[in-house]
Chain A
């Protein structure tokens, strides 16, 4: 090999790298703005996202969402996602992955119902195989909790015998996101470990706009911005064993641990006031009981197992535990809700007919199905807010390891008892996984 050849970068693959970088940068910008942009889209998500720092977002990446698991074990040998840092060593290709969701919610109580739609950006990940199938570096940006809420309330007050009707539109957007930089290392032939430190940043905007039926009262909008940041740590381990029960079979195990973390929150309260100089944004923070507070996020544990008797079929089961009973937030309470430990179980199967050498349109796809059950992290009026999801999905594979995964899920959340709300959710997810060999050393000349 000639001297300097190590620095040679294949132009064609450099284009691939640029493409991946462009996806990441563009996606990042979209993602960072997504939760605020939502306010312009007349959207609202789960009403239960009003509590705490938002509703927990499960870290389901790639095709995992389509069969009810997180992808902790990755028995299907596809592109590895964000779920388990222990899997990041198992990469030969440079990968870029992102996902988004479109949800349609039907909300009902014992008397009435409403519908809502929501477009959500999911996660972003770039995975670089520093040493193929041995050491991988992952850069990721993903949501941990998310609140997406828009509530319109109508009320009245008396003004000298006249009834003034006012409408208040409450919007809450935001949540905790993590920017994570981690690595996975294959320590033995079968075992890999991973560590992912991250910066968790919290942004939440609560706005309330008041409109009055009487022209004597001017429209008012007040906004509360809450933000904070902290370091967080996540650990993962994965194991993969072949030919246990039969030749060509595979058993994969995975587990992750996310350490609890705390962050200092700061809040700003402001509104627009009409003054002689015109409209001016003014601080209302003096109305707040406190400008700073402490947020404690819970410990998380997850584990899963996957078994593939052969390359065209696999079955997985995973469990995820979040110790929400330790959650605390001194800045704002939970609106009367109690926080309880959350358990989520998921199981599913996948078919990979395309791995068989045969023709046929329907054999070109990957098929997934599964279900998951979530005990929820909220107890409101003695009612646990549980969720049952039915998962299904279709994967479209390219000749490389790139794939496009479409998931279709239907979920049942909450209850109509105790004047609560039951949500029936249709969710369509799209996950794009790009895999390229970016840095290729030329062969000996």
Chain B
């Protein structure tokens, strides 16, 4: 076999090219290994105290119905310096992201505020955390009321108003704080019909306002979280729908993949996932939008808490950034570790990553897809002529 090679013989002063076709040289060969099977695992995500909290409802034609309820608990005064007088009003100034909307942009979302009746804590809050709400309406609003800064002013009343005033006005700090912790579990923002979009609140910049005649005091939000309810559509054959809330996470058997690698000196090994961009771009109705999933992540390691690893860790991560409906993961180092450093590949998980609480989903070609777009390893290796 001869390989047409353009050779450049570098001289001291000149560098020109002579074509020869009789010298064998190595080249780059590209091998594709399709992944035969994957395991799907479910992970209960942490959804408390994220930068953004989802609230609203949207029936996504592709990914199914999603309904988000936000929970929050305002701060109370730590020291006895103020008093809420009878004529003062309690109001939530809720900040919502203006651009980031999941769903129909033309229909205003309507929400109601109810009391939470069980204890909860944002730092350990998960999707599966049981939450109970009272029946009493504490407030209501529509996202159309948002001002130009994305703030919605929501008057709060009812039994929560009364309790908060009572606790706020307790002179003894310890008693006030203890009773507030034990008796008030905060409020829930629940979407109501005909809401057809999901908005994202930033509770870290939201405030509880105590509005007097001449001045207004504000208190931050001490804890917050959100939960999603999904009602997924019928599965689509040969497609894999993944959400960044980890209802399904792909577990890969990378060790067996390493064993299937061609016996070559590979220079790059990459794992490739492909989106079903046709369905992705044609499934939404007019005026409906989704948040783009910025990328996929692959976590490789022996993890104690998968939800923490997937949601917050920056270690043991391989990022797969999207380009033209494709996610490419650089696997070279991981494979080299197993082959050349006696460091076996550990458990590996693939999931769409949208940090900070945004909600996103993705549809991929499955391993059973009769398509060259199904998940695969692309191996670039040196096609060596050595030793022949």
B384 touches A222 (CB 8 A): yes
B17 touches A114 (CB 8 A): yes
CB-defined contacts of A333 to chain B, threshold 8 Å: 388
**Complex Cα distance A216/B10, Å?**
27
**What's the nearest-Cβ distance from chain B to residue A147, in Å?**
12
CB-defined contacts of A231 to chain B, threshold 8 Å: none
B7 touches A111 (CB 8 A): no
Interface residue ranges of A200-258 to B (CB < 8 Å) = 206, 208, 210, 212, 216-218, 220, 222, 224
Does A14 interact with chain B (Cβ within 8 Å)? Answer: no
Interface residue ranges of B1-45 to A (CB < 8 Å) = 2, 5-28, 30
B336 touches A275 (CB 8 A): yes
A286 touches B263 (CB 8 A): yes
B265 touches A289 (CB 8 A): no
CB-defined contacts of A287 to chain B, threshold 8 Å: 263-265, 384, 386-387
**What's the nearest-Cβ distance from chain A to residue B208, in Å?**
49
B265 touches A44 (CB 8 A): no
CB-defined contacts of B23 to chain A, threshold 8 Å: 47, 50, 151, 335
CB-defined contacts of A161 to chain B, threshold 8 Å: 324
**Complex Cα distance A286/B263, Å?**
8
**Complex Cα distance A158/B263, Å?**
21
Task: Mark the stretch among B101-109, B337-345, B357-365 that contacts chain A.
Answer: B337-345
A107 touches B18 (CB 8 A): yes
**Complex Cα distance A155/B265, Å?**
18
Task: Mark the stretch among A124-132, A266-274, A398-406 that contacts chain B.
Answer: A266-274
A331 touches B387 (CB 8 A): yes
What string of 1s and 0s marks CB contacts (under 8 Å) between A313-338 and chain B? Answer: 00000000000000000011101110
B11 touches A114 (CB 8 A): yes
Q: Quick one: given A276-B341, A336-B2, are A116 and B9 in contact (CB under 8 Å)? A: yes
**What's the nearest-Cβ distance from chain A to residue B132, in Å?**
48
**Complex Cα distance A152/B9, Å?**
7
Does B333 interact with chain A (Cβ within 8 Å)? Answer: yes
Does B170 interact with chain A (Cβ within 8 Å)? Answer: no
B7 touches A153 (CB 8 A): yes
**What's the nearest-Cβ distance from chain B to residue A102, in Å?**
11
Count, chain A residues at interface, CB 8 A: 64
Does A42 interact with chain B (Cβ within 8 Å)? Answer: yes
B18 touches A284 (CB 8 A): no
A280 touches B340 (CB 8 A): yes
A335 touches B24 (CB 8 A): yes
**Complex Cα distance A271/B24, Å?**
20
Does B95 interact with chain A (Cβ within 8 Å)? Answer: no
Q: Quick one: given A210-B267, A276-B343, are A152 and B388 in contact (CB under 8 Å)? A: no
**Complex Cα distance A277/B342, Å?**
12
**What's the nearest-Cβ distance from chain B to residue A104, in Å?**
8
**Complex Cα distance A114/B16, Å?**
5
**What's the nearest-Cβ distance from chain A to residue B301, in Å?**
12
Q: Quick one: given A273-B340, A289-B388, are A421 and B20 in contact (CB under 8 Å)? A: yes
- Which of the residues A115, A224, A331, A419 comes within 8 Å of B16, measured between beta carbons? A115
Interface residue ranges of B234-265 to A (CB < 8 Å) = 263-265
Q: Quick one: given A114-B18, A117-B12, A220-B382, are A289 and B27 in contact (CB under 8 Å)? A: no
Does B67 interact with chain A (Cβ within 8 Å)? Answer: no
CB-defined contacts of A50 to chain B, threshold 8 Å: 23
Does A157 interact with chain B (Cβ within 8 Å)? Answer: yes
CB-defined contacts of A271 to chain B, threshold 8 Å: 265
B18 touches A421 (CB 8 A): yes
A108 touches B18 (CB 8 A): yes
Nearest-neighbor residue (CB-CB) of A282 within chain B:
B340
**Complex Cα distance A208/B32, Å?**
24
CB-defined contacts of A206 to chain B, threshold 8 Å: 386
**Complex Cα distance A127/B26, Å?**
45
Apart from A151-B25, A157-B28, what 20 extra A-B contacts exist at CB < 8 Å?
A107-B9, A107-B18, A114-B16, A150-B10, A153-B6, A157-B30, A210-B28, A210-B267, A216-B330, A220-B382, A222-B26, A267-B387, A275-B341, A287-B263, A287-B264, A288-B386, A332-B386, A332-B388, A333-B388, A419-B21
Q: Which 10 A-B pairs have the closest CB atoms?
A: A288-B387, A115-B11, A152-B8, A282-B340, A114-B9, A151-B7, A114-B18, A114-B16, A116-B9, A153-B5
What are 10 sample pairs from A and B whose C-beta atoms fall under 8 A apart?
Answer: A111-B19, A114-B9, A150-B10, A151-B23, A157-B30, A170-B25, A222-B26, A280-B340, A331-B387, A419-B22
